[in-house]
Amino acid sequence: MKTTVTSLPGNQVRVEVEVSEDELSPALERAAREIGRKVKLKGFRPGRIPRKVLERHVGRRAILDEAVPVAVPAFLADAVDAEEIDWVGRPTVDEVDGGLDAPLSFVATLDLRPQVSIGDVDDIVVTLDGPVAPTEDEIESEIDAIRGRYATLETVTRPAAEGDHVLINLEAHRNTDSIEELTRNDLLYELGSGNLVEELDTELSGATAGSILKFNATLPETAPFHAGEEVSFGVLVKEVKQRVLPELTDDWVDENSEFDTVDAMRAELIDHLTASKLNYMRQMAQSKAVDALVERAGVLVPESVVELELDSRINELVRQLASQGIDLGGYLDATGETLDSLRDRFRPEAEKTRAADFALSAYAEEAGVSVSDTDLERLVTVLAAQAGKHPKQMRKELERSGRLESLKESFTRQKALGTLLESVKVVDDAGEAVDLSFPEADDDESVAEAAIAEAADDDELAADDDEPSASGDD
């Protein structure tokens, strides 16, 4: 195989590849077997037709056309590996020629990895919004949430306020036609829930038993009926009920929870809130630290990388919609969007995400952050357990599809986040230094989980890909 590499403006390279007949022959054999499975010839079993016989039946061009879409990415991958080209994103392949009576040749244009320099990060200051420790209000809110599960409703004569439950008769009309889906008698509605339309909560606020309310409201675009249409509502308020929380005593706690006393329950809630808030604050600090890295490095993300990220986000949306029984076409019709406008909406976050990846990867290299074989084996074992496969089988699949390297890079970035957080200065909103460190074991586990989550989307997208693909690190 002959390869010629030419530098192009815009941090790109042009790769010209020429493949000899002998090098192309195995790909043609595989293509012939694939076509042979679909062709019926007397005297031959499907998939067992010799290539020369098949060429006489379907023509050499048909076999070449079957081979090229698979062979070109594989030869390109071999070429860039041999030339040690550090490329990213999705290649553009054109000028595919030959393969019958001449060598197969093609030209690919690739984006090179952006050259990113981070330098010292000790001068980066990350300011958190709010205290790290749970506040008394947060603790009381958590306790009230537990008590709220056992709350009772008591009829009151005062005007309705947020959090009250209002017993109403509800009717809705579009022009003169009644909307059955929005017509209810004795509907117990929680004021402030926003479960129907915002105007209902507004009108009910301050209403008393016997109040008759009339108003118009536009149904949400996501409504299953009359989406985006203006509807006339009529409401009769029958009763206003307030929630009554049970008295917080040791006896009540002992009877309705796993704890014996109020103090024991409170202590456990404080521990839980502290860990939860610490995790949240770490994520906030990491996000701000990475934003500072991106700003300092001035990362320019190649368009092909952005397009790959947009594809990933669209595919994730399709999976989420499918889990709700909705297809993408139906979603676009309901929201009034197009696929292009959806990609435009996702673009800013896609660019930000990939810029952060490049900045973190550069920082990891400068800081000497790496992933050991033991780390990688542990991740593969976890993924295998999730997929119900043996770790050795999982590793082979990951290696064959190129996903193992993606997983390793994800883990490296997550470890780099931890190192970055230890290196920058983190302060609270009062300017006081904040300790966001986890116990070592917990920290290792959180890094592993984050790495698996980050690589999961790429892993799912490539799960059915049986052939090695020519794809750069993205």
- pLDDT (tens digit, 9 = 90+) per residue, 74-97? 999 999 999 999 999 999 999 898
- What percentage of the chain carries pLDDT values higher than 90? 56
pLDDT, position 455? 52
CB 159 within 8 A of CB 210: no
Record the tokens describing residue 358, joined without a space: 């490049």
pLDDT of 168 > 90? The answer is yes
pLDDT, position 253? 95
Per-residue pLDDT band at 47 (split at 50, 70, 90):
low
What span, in angstroms and rounded, lies between the C-alpha atoms of 279 and 322?
31
What digits encode the pLDDT tens for the residues 174-224? Answer: 988 899 989 999 999 999 998 889 999 999 999 999 999 999 999 887 777
What digits encode the pLDDT tens for the residues 249-284? Answer: 999 999 999 999 999 999 999 999 998 988 889 889
Per-residue pLDDT band at 51 (split at 50, 70, 90):
confident
What digits encode the pLDDT tens for the residues 289-335? Answer: 999 999 988 889 999 999 999 999 999 999 999 998 888 998 888 88
Mean pLDDT of 123-135: 88
Mean pLDDT of 233-259: 95
CB 83 within 8 A of CB 110: no
> Which structural domains are found in the chain, ordered by start?
2-112 (3.30.70.1050), 125-131+262-461 (1.10.3120.10), 152-244 (3.10.50.40)
**How many residues in the chain?**
474
pLDDT, position 442? 52
What digits encode the pLDDT tens for the residues 417-465? Answer: 888 998 999 998 888 888 887 655 455 555 556 655 555 444 443 343 3
Average model confidence (pLDDT) for the chain? 87
Q: Find, among 206, 140, 456, 130, the residue nearest to 312 by Cα.
A: 456
Kindly list the distances between the CA atom of residue 362 and the CA atoms of 30, 126, 355, 409, 442, in Å, as whole numbers in the listed order.
Answer: 40, 20, 11, 11, 26
Q: Find, among 355, 365, 363, the residue nearest to 294 by Cα.
A: 355
What span, in angstroms and rounded, lies between the C-alpha atoms of 172 and 255?
45
Element (H, E) at 407: helix 403-423
pLDDT, position 222? 75
pLDDT of 171 > 60? The answer is yes
Which residues in 51-147 belong to E strands, given as ranges? 87-97, 104-112, 125-127
pLDDT, position 189? 96
Kindly list the distances between the CA atom of residue 223 and the CA atoms of 127, 144, 229, 331, in Å, as whole numbers in the listed order.
Answer: 40, 32, 10, 11
